[in-house]
Structure 1
């Protein structure tokens, strides 16, 4: 079993863990924490790495469970994110191939960040043509007896190093290769080969 957080357009490390497990469990009963991939994805824009952050209604003084945190939809963030993604990837080989599949995520409001991230995951699984079956955790356990507890991946401050294979990116000649971006970067650049790439990588945590 793999225990992992559902995140906003998960990065490649998350998906390497997901495709290489036979049973997927999403952590849904932990306390929400700011500045994590729960509400942030990183893409490759014309000026280098670009973070897309979903605004949420949350303050550190009022502890909330991840599943209870609401998205702040008044900011019209979906349109901003869509424009950023289009600008970054419209010249990539497979952007037009997946554009219509992803569009519902930017056209329909969702109230809770956990629910939205699960929608992202399900649509990405459709794009990858893989099984989207998963279960949600029933309670939070800080220490759990599992071989694959990948909850550490949700926090970018952990500075984990991944030795993933390079693949062709749109702006490599301008800024070099950037590793472990959102799965969108891999999907738009590698298309149907994405799943083969993910299955060939390993996580050494």
Structure 2
């Protein structure tokens, strides 16, 4: 099947599990931007539990803006804060050092537009996973679709279903228990080369 999905900031496990099932993954490029979604946020597992990392954006509620037109608020030092949070959360994980040199440039090089940055993050994760997906982009926005499986609802972080994903070992799991559907980074740092096989088995929960 072909699937339609939003590019997000270091997609969560449900996003990746869905994408792995598609013969073709079509990115929605022409939607309106909405606040409080995974477009500009991801969740990791910090020492105190679930931790949100948000990319600050220049956004006006007075008029609708296309996702592709949203700029990152780069006057804030959010990149260094996000990287420090990742180091604090995952420095002791089995695979952090294995991937950090591929990921660190994303937090030191500035990108003007949020969508462009999310695509860079996605491409880097594909390289880390050694995964080759057939990716295309929408030409226009369509509210209803008939010939493609629509996973765009996964972008909504406020109304997320309970996916009941399989467990895996997490750095602070003994302290706070298993936390599911975090950023792909959590799975990557904890499972490394096993991440791909884990993702392939999670579609049954979506």
After TM superposition, the score normalised by the length of structure 2 is 0.97
Report which stretch shifted further, 194-203 or 83-92.
194-203
- Distance, in Å, in 1 between the alignment partners of 2:9 and 2:25 is 17
Give the 3-state SS of the residue equivalent to 2:189 in structure 1: helix
**1:92 counterpart = 2:98:** no
Report the equivalent of 1:18: 19
1:111-150 pair list within 5 angstroms: 111-150=112-151
**Number of the residue aligned with 2:42:** 41
Residues 62-96 of structure 1 show CA distances to partners (whole Å, capped at 9, x for unaligned) of 21000000000000110000000000000100000
Counterpart CA distance in 2 for 1:146 and 1:182 is: 29
Q: CA RMSD in A?
A: 1.1
For the residues of structure 2 that align with 1:77 and 1:203, how far apart are their CA atoms?
36
Within 1, Cα distance between the matches of 2:205 and 2:44?
Answer: 23
SS at structure 2 position matched to 1:41: strand
137-146 or 72-81, which moves further after superposition? 137-146
TM-superposition CA deviations, 1:135-173 (whole Å, max 9, x none): 111111111114520000000122312121100000011
Whether the 8 Å CA contact 2:68–2:113 is kept in 1: the answer is yes
Q: Give the Cα–Cα distance (whole angstroms) in 2 for the partners of residues 12 and 192 of structure 1.
A: 15
User: Is the contact between residue 16 and residue 203 of structure 1 (CA under 8 Å) also seen in structure 2?
Assistant: no
* 1:182 maps onto 2:183 in alignment: yes
Task: Check if 1:162 corresponds to 2:159.
Answer: no
Give the Cα separation in 1 of the matches to 2:173 and 2:23: 34
Which deviations, in whole Å up to 9, do the C-alpha atoms of 1:26-69 show, x marking residues without a partner? Answer: 00100000000000000000000000000000021121000000
- The answer (yes or no) to whether the contact 2:165–2:205 under 8 Å persists in 1 is no
Report the Cα offset of residue 183 of structure 1.
Answer: 0.3
Worse-superposed segment, 174-183 or 131-140: 131-140
Tell me if the contact between 2:37 and 2:156 (Cα under 8 Å) persists in the aligned partners: yes
Q: CA deviation at 1:125?
A: 0.1
